[in-house]
């Protein structure tokens, strides 16, 4: 489905005919669907009477030197994955349907966007917040599903939804991984064999984080250890490795053992392998690390 | 009603029990209701099955040196006007209900906010856009009513609603005036007798605008004429007098007859009388000025 008006009509028709309490679930994506997206669709389909998938590569959230033009696209495959995973409606708007004229309105979230990907990709989260607001206004779902792999994106959207009283439940779902641990991402498609092999260091080193925290590591030591593990891979070019409280993304005391922190802790990293920038993270409650 | 949760429950109950096609109308205000607000409520009540009025003096849209603290308030009178004018639900939240924690999210509209009140009151329209987004998300009305007296506010909200795909019809209603022409405003309450008498020059000079346009006045001449009329009142302190296309609020050729302009034209002004800043405007289609 390409048109906003048509999509709204379908959803309104569903709402009219569906029995009380049958909710609408929404999975916004940029397409090139993988098992991570499929897991969001299956969860939405299990929890709602109608599941809407959107596939839209949003120009607003790409910087001028980023990979907008070569972001992978495959509509036929996306439709197959969508239907196999429980999507009832697939919304695939053209850019001119979403942005028929120059956008004068922007939604921006401060604080949680200043670090991590917000620092590396200026304007990125304004683009995300704006398009997600538009999509939520178009679909008006009861629940919207996002992958925890984009942990900062989840924090931004949760905060925006709360601040603007958007009537939706934001549901963050666990990161899906290949058998060897690589976090699923549409960008994995760009990796050559050597890059892909070396990229395994991301999930492998993150997997050691609970052990290090149990042993008394502070934020500084954790970052140092991760950096040296990852930098040992010759093709790895570190963008950031950082540790913050979650979901407010504030710095933690650099030299205090993380196991004494009460709030959830996000260990997040972005690393380039060749031209491909990958992100991964671990979200954990230090009090529960035994 | 003070609580967002309670308000949402009431509106949801109405939507469930109301027959198909019974819409919800919404009139957002800062209270101290006058006949202008009452006219919005009557119109909403005539066009919708349920009319929600909000009364909220929004701190976000006041600058540090503006009149937030002394903005006039009278809840008892507001409730009386509301019920006499057809409001079914009155939402009067405390500041901490609308802003329970520091706002990290902002909605901003560029372009249409750079001139007129946007230039005199930096940040004002970001505060308006943000609170109106919140209120629309809370009430989820089918129609929202605004007074054309705040012409730039209407232009900002119309643009925001379009850009963000907010599912609401924005309805701009004519400015209501005292018998002697003074545009109704809660701020008129501040005027002393001399200021009030001299403030009549605003509506009186604006009333001459169609005549001047018919006679071939260009934007520059119109502004010059209005300035000298208004400045002749000793208590008048002009903030701005300007002429723009509407609703995009772009400058018009200063020296071309306005009657040859195809788009609607907004003649808008802001003038202080003592400490009170008043605004007024005339929106007209030059092609229809005969």
Q: Among partner residues A16, A111, A138, which is closest to B104 by beta-carbon distance?
A: A111
Q: Does B129 touch chain A (CB under 8 A)?
A: yes
The active-site residue out of A37, A124, A224, A290 is A37
A144: domain CATH number is 3.40.50.620
Are the beta carbons of B107 and A107 separated by less than 8 Å? Answer: yes
d(CA A202, nearest CA chain B) in Å: 31
Sequential DSSP letters for chain B? ---HHHHHHHHHHHHHHS-TT--EEEEEE-SS--HHHHHHHHHHHHH-SEEEEEE---GGGS-TTSSTTTS---HHHHHHHHHHHT-SEEE---HHHH-SS---EEEEE-STTSSTHHHHSTTHHHHHHHHHHHHHHHH--SEEEEETTSHHHHHHHHHHHHHTT-S-EEEEEPPPB-TTSPBP-GGGGG--HHHHHHHHHHHHHHHTHHHHHHTT-BHHHHHHHHHHHHHTSTTEEEEEEEEEETTT--B--TTSBGGG--S-EEEEEEEEETTEEEEEEEEE-GGG--
> Are A169 and A144 members of one domain?
yes
At A290 the pLDDT is 67
Final residue in a domain of this structure, among B143, B173, B203: B173
Q: Indicate which of B9, B11, B163 best probes the interface with A, i.e. most A CBs within 10 Å of its own CB.
A: B163
Q: Does B103 touch chain A (CB under 8 A)?
A: yes
Nearest CA in chain B to A107: B107
> Are A47 and A129 members of one domain?
yes
What percentage of chain B has pLDDT greater than the value 70? 99
Are the beta carbons of B137 and A112 separated by less than 8 Å? Answer: no
Q: Does A8 touch chain B (CB under 8 A)?
A: yes
> Are B47 and B158 members of one domain?
yes
Contacting residues of B for A163, CB less than 8 Å apart: 103-105, 134
A187 is in an annotated binding site: yes
Are the beta carbons of B167 and A133 separated by less than 8 Å? Answer: no
> Are A194 and A227 members of one domain?
yes
Nearest CA in chain A to B125: A105
Q: Among partner residues A105, A109, A134, which is closest to B105 by beta-carbon distance?
A: A109
Q: Is the ipTM of this complex over 0.85?
A: yes
Q: Indicate which of B3, B18, B54, B104 best probes the interface with A, i.e. most A CBs within 10 Å of its own CB.
A: B104
Q: Does A139 touch chain B (CB under 8 A)?
A: no
Binding residues of B for ATP, as ranges, are 30-37, 147-150, 184-187
Final residue in a domain of this structure, among A123, A138, A173: A173
Q: Please list the pLDDT of chain A residue by residue as tens digits (290 residues).
A: 999 999 999 999 999 888 776 899 999 999 999 999 999 999 999 999 999 999 999 999 999 888 899 899 999 999 999 999 999 999 999 999 999 999 999 999 999 998 898 888 999 999 999 999 999 999 999 999 999 999 999 999 999 999 999 999 999 999 999 999 999 999 999 999 999 999 999 999 999 999 999 999 999 999 999 999 999 999 999 999 999 999 999 999 888 999 999 889 999 999 999 999 999 999 999 878 76
Q: Does A288 fall in a domain?
A: no
Q: Does B4 touch chain A (CB under 8 A)?
A: yes
Which structural domain, as residue segments, surrounds residue B210? Answer: 186-283
d(CA A22, nearest CA chain B) in Å: 14
> Are B46 and B142 members of one domain?
yes
Q: Does A256 fall in a domain?
A: yes
Are the beta carbons of B164 and A107 separated by less than 8 Å? Answer: yes
Contact of A247 with A158, CB cutoff 8 Å: yes
> Are B130 and B12 members of one domain?
yes
Final residue in a domain of this structure, among A111, A144, A173: A173
B273: nearest Cα among B218, B219, B193:
B193
d(CA A140, nearest CA chain B) in Å: 9
Q: Does A203 fall in a domain?
A: yes
At A83 the pLDDT is 97
> Are B242 and B128 members of one domain?
no
- What is the C-alpha separation between A22 and B248, in angstroms, rounded? 41
Are the beta carbons of A134 and B165 separated by less than 8 Å? Answer: yes
Q: Does B106 touch chain A (CB under 8 A)?
A: yes
At B288 the pLDDT is 81
> Are B162 and B130 members of one domain?
yes
d(CA B48, nearest CA chain A) in Å: 19
> Are B45 and B82 members of one domain?
yes
Are the beta carbons of B105 and A138 separated by less than 8 Å? Answer: no
B247: domain CATH number is 3.30.1300.10
Q: Does B178 fall in a domain?
A: no
Q: Does B289 fall in a domain?
A: no
* Residue with tokens 């071939």, as numbered in its chain: B216
A103-141 in b/e burial notation, b at 16+ Cβ within 10 A? bbbbbbbebbbebbbbeebebbbbbbbbbbbbbbbbbbb
SS3 at position A75: helix
Q: Where does residue A86 fall: left (phi above 0), alpha (psi -120 to 50 degrees), or beta otherwise?
A: left
Q: Does B290 fall in a domain?
A: no
A61: nearest Cα among A144, A130, A152, A135:
A130
Kindly report the average pLDDT of chain B as a whole number: 95
Q: Does B180 fall in a domain?
A: no
> Are B169 and B206 members of one domain?
no
Nearest CA in chain B to A100: B163
Q: Which residues neighbour B198 within 8 Å (Cβ) at sequence distance 6 or greater?
A: B233, B234, B235, B236, B273
Mean pLDDT value across residues B272-279 = 96
At A152 the pLDDT is 95
Q: Tally the residues of chain A.
A: 290
Q: Does B138 touch chain A (CB under 8 A)?
A: yes
Contacting residues of A for B167, CB less than 8 Å apart: 8, 137-138, 140
Q: Among partner residues B104, B129, B130, which is closest to A110 by beta-carbon distance?
A: B104
Q: Among partner residues B140, B160, B167, which is closest to A105 by beta-carbon distance?
A: B160
> Are A53 and A162 members of one domain?
yes
Q: Does A289 fall in a domain?
A: no
Would you say residue B290 has pLDDT above 80?
no
Q: What does the pLDDT look like over A159-198, one tens digit per residue?
A: 999 999 999 999 999 999 999 999 999 999 999 999 999 9
Q: How many structural domains does chain A have? A: 2
Task: Say whether A37 is catalytic.
Answer: yes
Q: What does the pLDDT look like over B88-132, one tens digit per residue?
A: 999 999 999 999 999 999 999 999 998 898 888 999 999 999 999
> Are A42 and A153 members of one domain?
yes
At A3 the pLDDT is 98
A216 is in an annotated binding site: no
Q: What does the pLDDT look like over B170-200, one tens digit per residue?
A: 999 999 999 999 999 999 999 999 999 999 9
Q: For residue B115, count CB atoms less than 10 angstroms from its CB and return exposed for 0-12, middle for 13-18, buried for 19 or more.
A: middle
Q: Does A164 touch chain B (CB under 8 A)?
A: yes
Are the beta carbons of B164 and A8 separated by less than 8 Å? Answer: no
Q: Indicate which of A16, A20, A105, A152 best probes the interface with B, i.e. most B CBs within 10 Å of its own CB.
A: A105
Are the beta carbons of A110 and B106 separated by less than 8 Å? Answer: yes
Contact of B140 with B134, CB cutoff 8 Å: no
A104 is in an annotated binding site: no
Q: What does the pLDDT look like over B21-76, one tens digit per residue?
A: 689 999 999 999 999 999 999 999 999 999 999 999 999 999 988 889 989 999 99
């Amino acid at each position: 489905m390409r048109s906003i008006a048509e999509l709204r009509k379908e959803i309104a028709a569903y709402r009219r005919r569906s029995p009380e309490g049958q909710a609408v679930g929404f999975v916004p994506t940029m397409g090139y669907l993988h098992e991570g997206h499929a897991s969001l669709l299956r969860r939405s389909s299990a929890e709602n009477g109608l599941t809407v998938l959107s596939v839209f590569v949003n120009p607003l959230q790409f910087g001028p030197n980023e990979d907008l033009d070569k972001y992978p696209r495959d509509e036929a495959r996306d439709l197959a994955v969508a239907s196999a995973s429980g999507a009832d409606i697939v919304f695939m708007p053209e850019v001119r349907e979403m942005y028929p004229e120059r956008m004068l309105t922007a939604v921006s979230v401060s604080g949680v966007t200043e670090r991590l990907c917000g620092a590396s990709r200026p304007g990125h989260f304004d683009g995300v917040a704006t398009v997600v607001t538009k999509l939520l206004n178009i679909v008006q779902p009861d629940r919207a599903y996002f992958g925890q792999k984009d942990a900062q994106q989840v924090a931004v959207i949760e905060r925006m939804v709360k601040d603007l009283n958007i009537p939706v439940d934001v549901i963050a779902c666990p990161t899906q991984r290949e058998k060897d641990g690589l976090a699923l991402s549409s960008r994995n498609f760009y990796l050559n064999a050597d890059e892909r092999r070396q990229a395994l260091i991301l999930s492998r080193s993150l997997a050691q984080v609970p052990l290090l925290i149990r042993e008394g590591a502070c934020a500084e030591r954790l970052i140092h250890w991760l950096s040296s593990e990852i930098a040992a891979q010759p093709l790895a070019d570190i963008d950031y490795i950082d540790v913050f409280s979650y979901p407010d993304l504030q710095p933690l005391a650099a030299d205090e053992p993380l196991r004494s922190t009460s709030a959830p802790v996000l260990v997040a990293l972005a690393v380039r392998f060749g031209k491909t920038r990958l992100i991964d993270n671990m979200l954990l409650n230090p009090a529960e690390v035994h």
